[in-house]
Structure 1
Amino acid sequence: MKKSGAEEIVPISGVVINPAMPVNRIASVDVYRGLVMLLMMVEVLSLSDVSEAIPESSFWKIIAFHQSHVEWVWLSLHDTIQPSFTFLVGVVLPYSIASRKSKGASVTNILLHTLKRSLILILLGIFLRSIHSQRINFTFEDTLTQIGLGYPFLVLLALYSSRVQIIGLVTILVGYWLAFALYPLPGPDFNYAAAGVKAGWEYNLNGFAAHWNKNTNLAWAFDNWFMNLFPRTKEFQFNRGGYSTLSFIPTLGTMILGLLAGSILASSMADRKKMKVFIIAGTSLIAFGVLLHLIGVNPVVKRIWTPAWTIFSGGICFLFLSFFFGVIDIFNKKKWSFFLMVIGMNSIAAYLIADGSVKSVIESLLKHLGQNFDKGFGPYATLISGSLVLLIEWLILYWMYKRRIFIKI
């Protein structure tokens, strides 16, 4: 985002801390990002445990469903976290490039910084996935590594016109769709056990859509080769969730959609017209994604980021952005959003806190409050202990906010 005023930038292992609070930010983007990170942070509430403890409650079943990923097709609220985070990377890029150019950065400088940022994101993703492992867990399917793999291509596209970006988006999605479509379906002798999925798995798709079934597709075949190039305790055969490295390609498509949205935000177009464009784009993309799924051309599957998922989830992101842009920036209703703003302005810190420190916070709570302090709350035990953890995490971010400490890569 745009910044003004003097800044003292202190490098810490590729991460910089800016004591000066950025100004001229688009508040709606920070609030949207804050919601995304909050959805990730509230995993600590373990709402599925509450639902299991009260099996007769439809309310908690619905809530628990939306705090977990769907098995294969369609989505829950939780499934909107990664595309939203990814989409927003593209949204802020026009501002980031404009800021660097205003400070005299050349295209070469921008590209070198891009490669550095990309490498940090990939390594950070691997590090977070290795915290509880005996050795480095080389994996490339999580949010940070997926963004890191596609980010250099996004920046290159950002240096060209929107027309070139749209052509790039279409080429990526059609090419990725075609690659999966041409990959042969499993034969009668296929070893489903070695792929970690049952032949009659209830979520398997039929007909042409079967080209996008779990661990029997092109991306799975690629990882069977690629993942075994790295040191491992045992041979890689499949990812239990069906996730794959190659998903960074259509994930790049989501970032391009965000880039197009960011270019509109940064333009001189009237704000109300911007919101209208976002609404039209969002509803159109959702409708097109649903159509591709229903007619069997391409299923909406988040776990392998199908082109239909890129389109469908991209539409949802446009609608989220239109809502926050309208409420926060057009109608200036900001007071309610402070809680989210604190999180969104320090999204990397929030990501690290939610992904890396929850266990230690819980252990500290249990140590000081007693191992059974939450048991008196019955089925709501995890809700109580999780809420305390969430409060502590937010207060850490608030402390950083008050002291103008903002972590960026």
Structure 2
Amino acid sequence: MTEKIPTAANRLASLDAFRGFIMFLMASAGFGIGGVAAKLPESIWATIAPQVDHVPWVGCVLWDLIQPAFMFMVGVAAAYSTANRLKKGDSLALVLWHAAVRSVALVLLGVLLASNSREDKQTVWLFTNVLAQIGIGYFFVVLLSWTNAKVQAAAIAAILVGYWLFFAVWTPSTLPTGADTSWIKSTEYLSGFFAHWNPHTNAAADFDVWFLNLFPRSSPYVLTRGGYQTLNFVPSLATMLMGLMTGEMLRREGRPEVKLCTLLIAGAICLLVGWLAGLTVCPLVKRIWTPSWTLFSGGWVLLMLAAFYAVIDVGGWKAWSVPFTVIGMNSIFVYLGFQLSSGWIRDTAARHLGQELYTGDYATMAQRTTVLVVLWLLATWLYRQRVFLRL
């Protein structure tokens, strides 16, 4: 639905700007830097390119932090949303009902996008994209928003330890016959105890072979290219709970400088603990959202948010962030617009602006920049009209 609403009086400007920055990165599709780097391997673009593409399995670059940041901000928003509903007098039952409806809507949108990107002639029941992952966990985030920080921290610990045990005690399966493993080098497979977290043979992969084949399919489910799994929502729920705790801290009364220090210290601790866990307990793998990855990526997100908070809400420098804010205030619109219409925008632009604009070494960069500009202009118009897409 769309609604004309004012910005909440207690909304921190840095939160909308940071969410907009994350969506800006997503909608840019890396500005096609990877395509330019492939044609100009000696250019500066070849140095930047690794940061705008996911690592094959173990590790982290900027591009891997987009989804954790987006999910983290869902938790932050849930803290504000629940508080505002309580202030209006809504009951627990009403808040949870709204959360349940939103969860279902997000999951169905996720399935729609998964189906739209494939050639199957029927619904493709996959739950690995960001909307479906948020939808599955969102109800539990709202439910836990009614508890205190100790309970929320205990829930995060229980999720991470329990999910680690699930993988650690599971006997890895064999790689499915004919599996497409062209996206990962043989040298990147893990050995020893860490082999419990290899692609397509881990506990979550085996779960999907059972679970996803319960749905009608054109052919039996075997694997998801890239190793993404449905159960990623479990540890990513911990990411959203980290955001929930952060949102609760930010919305409370207190000196901004103290809150900034809290963000910096929490970010540094999560980053350090996640890094050490990635060396000793389980590998840092975004594609299956390992517990070490949850903490490591959460640490980076906290530090990035701290930078926005320091500059915008503590320092008072807001004007520069308006281009990001207009995206952040309509993040669902931008996300859906990118997923559903980016191809149409590229084709239409080429038709009316001339094919020659989208040829040569910088063709992909021109195409993806065009898509981003169009989506930003639409988001800006909606922002000026005070119209925001909400679920």
Match of 1:219 in 2: 204
Match of 1:176 in 2: 163
Q: Is the 8 A contact 2:16 2:329 kept in 1?
A: yes
Confirm or deny that 1:103 pairs with 2:88. yes
Give CA-to-partner distance per residue, 1:330-372, whole Å, 9 cap, x none: 1100111111111111111111111111011111112212333
1:176 is matched by which residue type in structure 2?
Y
Distance (Å, rounded) in 2 between the aligned partners of 1:191 and 1:78: 27
SS of the counterpart of 1:121?
helix
Structure 1 pair 200–366 and aligned structure 2 pair: CA distance change class (3 A): closer
Give CA-to-partner distance per residue, 1:160-179, whole Å, 9 cap, x none: 11111111110110000001
Distance (Å, rounded) in 1 between the aligned partners of 2:73 and 2:168: 30
Q: How does 1:318-357 map to 2 (within 5 A)?
A: 318-357=302-341
Q: Is the 8 A contact 2:30 2:53 kept in 1?
A: no
Distance (Å, rounded) in 2 between the aligned partners of 1:269 and 1:23: 18
Match of 2:33 in 1: 47
Match of 1:312 in 2: 296
SS of the counterpart of 2:84?
helix
TM-score, normalised via structure 1 length: 0.91
Q: Is the 8 A contact 1:87 1:258 kept in 2?
A: yes
Confirm or deny that 1:185 pairs with 2:167. no
Q: Is the 8 A contact 2:172 2:203 kept in 1?
A: no
Match of 2:227 in 1: 242
Q: Is the 8 A contact 2:159 2:235 kept in 1?
A: yes
SS of the counterpart of 2:115?
coil
Deviates more, 1:363-372 or 1:104-113: 363-372
Match of 1:121 in 2: 106
Confirm or deny that 1:142 pairs with 2:124. no
Q: Percent identity?
A: 42
Match of 2:365 in 1: 383
1:269 Cα deviation after fit: 2.5
Distance (Å, rounded) in 2 between the aligned partners of 1:174 and 1:195: 30
Structure 1 pair 230–183 and aligned structure 2 pair: CA distance change class (3 A): same
Confirm or deny that 1:26 pairs with 2:12. yes
SS of the counterpart of 2:139?
helix
1:192 Cα deviation after fit: 4.8
Confirm or deny that 1:203 pairs with 2:188. yes
Greater per-residue helix proportion:
2
Match of 1:162 in 2: 149
Deviates more, 1:253-262 or 1:123-132: 123-132
Match of 1:367 in 2: 351
Q: Is the 8 A contact 2:164 2:290 kept in 1?
A: yes
Distance (Å, rounded) in 1 between the aligned partners of 2:83 and 2:185: 52
Give CA-to-partner distance per residue, 1:220-278, whole Å, 9 cap, x none: 00000111111111111111110000000000000011111111101222111111011
Q: Is the 8 A contact 2:175 2:201 kept in 1?
A: no
Aligned length: 387
Match of 1:292 in 2: 277
1:338 is matched by which residue type in structure 2?
V
Of the candidates 355, 365, 388, which is equivalent to residue 406 of structure 1?
A: 388
1:200 Cα deviation after fit: 7.8
Distance (Å, rounded) in 2 between the aligned partners of 1:180 and 1:44: 33
2:168 is matched by which residue type in structure 1?
A
SS of the counterpart of 1:129?
helix
TM-score, normalised via structure 2 length: 0.96
Match of 1:9 in 2: none
Distance (Å, rounded) in 1 between the aligned partners of 2:162 and 2:203: 13
Distance (Å, rounded) in 2 between the aligned partners of 1:388 and 1:203: 35
SS of the counterpart of 1:299?
coil
Confirm or deny that 1:82 pairs with 2:67. yes
1:284 Cα deviation after fit: 0.7
Give CA-to-partner distance per residue, 1:283-318, whole Å, 9 cap, x none: 1111111111122x1111000000001010111111
Structure 2 residues not aligned, in runs of 5+: none
Structure 1 residues not aligned, in runs of 5+: 1-15
1:191 Cα deviation after fit: 4.4
SS of the counterpart of 2:2?
strand
Distance (Å, rounded) in 2 between the aligned partners of 1:115 and 1:90: 15
Match of 1:280 in 2: 265
Distance (Å, rounded) in 2 between the aligned partners of 1:82 and 1:215: 21
Match of 1:61 in 2: 46
Distance (Å, rounded) in 2 between the aligned partners of 1:178 and 1:23: 42
1:62 Cα deviation after fit: 2.7
1:44 Cα deviation after fit: 6.7
